Amino acid sequence: MDTYFMFGQYSSGSFNQMGTERTDKAITLLSKYGGQVNSMYTLLGEQDIVLIVEFPDLKQVMKASIALTKMTGISFKTSPAIAVEDFDKLITGRVHL
């Protein structure tokens, strides 16, 4: 499983659906695409929310990101992430991802 950060920005319409029920639906939706939510945080600044998730591959996380945007009205930007330890090995040639 690969790790991804999903940064979300609320729209004016997405505020109306806030709450535990929408959060539960979002987690269920992500799992339908093979995803697992590791953590979720609300933010101050340019982004309003971040989800740290794992997915089996890029195609599944792309499908999930689009489906989540459609369901919540939150615009997501999704970025792959590599643990620093793995990155250090990658740049020194000790491991191939």
Domain segments of the chain as ranges: 2-91
Q: What does the pLDDT look like over 16-57, one tens digit per residue?
A: 788 899 899 999 999 999 999 999 999 999 999 999 999 999
CB 8 within 8 A of CB 76: yes
Distance separating alpha carbons of residues 62 and 85, to the nearest angstrom: 25
> What tokens were used for 54?
């794992």
Task: Please give the full DSSP string across 80-97, using - where no structure is assigned.
Answer: EE--HHHHHHHHTTS---
Assigned CATH for 2-91: 3.30.70.920
Tell me the Ramachandran region of residue 93: left when phi exceeds 0, alpha when psi lies from -120 to 50, beta otherwise: left
**Model's pTM, two decimal places?**
0.86
